[in-house]
Structure 1
Amino acid sequence: MARPSHSHVKHEGASLTDAARDVLLNDGEQWTEMRAQVFDVLAEFTKPASAYDIAEQLGKMLGRRVAPNSIYRILDLFVAHNLALRVESRNAYLANDHPGCIHDCIFLVCDDCGATTHIDDDETGKTVRKAASQDGFRVKRPVIEVRGQCTACSEA
């Protein structure tokens, strides 16, 4: 799904929700109340959140049980439209703070505290794509995760 050229703007709070909604609507999808609630809950997490984490938090807000299966479907939609990023090794998700941008990214995953950040690195992505295509492999999107220790944990 190619996007037109853009300025790289990171969003937070209401601006992030507005940007996510705009991307989904521009892609021809609906921005339902449930999708908005799931996105807002996901965006509140400071570490990657599982569908179960999101369902639990959303259930507390709504005062009723929310099935993780419905959360997974919404998260899959968010990942497909670049509103969320999936941290494969954790089977968890982060809200993409610049949802209008498509980049290959590298996740930095702290083994001690679980903090995960991502770095946009199109050059590394190009290298991975080239190596894969030379082997006849068709790449959808590289997922690179670097495990180690974040700055806060290494200074503790």
Structure 2
Amino acid sequence: MHSHAAHDHREPTGKALTSAAQKTLEAAGEQWTAMRQRIFEVLATFDKPASAYDIAEAVSKAEGRRVAANSVYRILDLFVGANLARRVESANAYVANSHPGCLHDCIFLVCDSCGQTTHLDDDAITASVRGVATGAGFSPKRPVIEVRGTCADCEDPD
């Protein structure tokens, strides 16, 4: 039991991350199937947001049979709904959520040159966005803020 203000942000990876994802999905009342596990594990190996096609291709190779992008899409949408993955809207691509047990609104910094995407949590900014939306009579469900631009590596290639 940690309080929301001081929760642990050591990011699990590999088996620990898969296990956190499984717990989160099962807590949401969903089955953790072999295919869902495979798709999550593949998604977690990408260092940039991956499209459903990228993931379908990687899963197809790993399984030795064709897996349709449509079934990958359905599972990715389920993952987004259960907080296991996040969708980078402007890139129509997905990233594994490295702390699926925590509910944060996301800020993504998306590099237009290399596609590298950095995920930030800044609860003050996203609370402000929710406040503005609420003030306009809108009920915000899941703010996603994306900032397009150039990352430090592309800005200053040594």
Which bracket does the TM-score occupy, shorter chain normalised?
over 0.9
Question: What SS does the aligned partner of 1:43 have?
Answer: helix
Match of 2:75 in 1: 74
Aligned counterparts of 1:132 and 1:90: Cα–Cα separation in 2: 24
2:101 alignment counterpart: 100
Unaligned runs of 5+ in 1: none
For residues 83 and 45 of structure 1, do their structure 2 counterparts lie closer, same or farther at Cα, with a shift above 3 Å needed?
Answer: same
Q: 1:29 maps to what in 2?
A: 30
Normalized against structure 2, the TM-score is what? 0.93
Task: Tell me the matched-pair count.
Answer: 154
1:122 deviates by 1.0
Question: What is the 5 A alignment of 1:51-90?
Answer: 51-90=52-91
Q: How many angstroms apart in 1 are the aligned matches of 2:19 and 2:83?
A: 14
Please give the TM-score of this superposition, normalised by the length of structure 1: 0.94
Question: What CA deviation, in whole Å up to 9, does each residue of 1:38-81 have, x standing for no partner?
Answer: 00000010100000000011111111111111001100110011
1:120 paired residue number: 121
Q: Trace 1:12-27 onto structure 2 (pairs within 5 A).
A: 12-27=13-28
Is there any run of 5+ residues in structure 2 with no aligned partner, and where?
none
Q: Assess, with a 3 A threshold, how the Cα gap between structure 1 residues 13 and 130 changes in structure 2: closer, same or farther.
A: same
Aligned to 2:8: 7
Q: Which residue number in structure 1 is paired with residue 51 of structure 2?
A: 50
1:8 touches 1:101 (CA, 8 Å); kept in 2? no
Give, in angstroms, the shift of residue 4 of structure 1: 7.2
Which whole-Å CA distance do the structure 2 matches of 1:141 and 1:41 have between them? 25
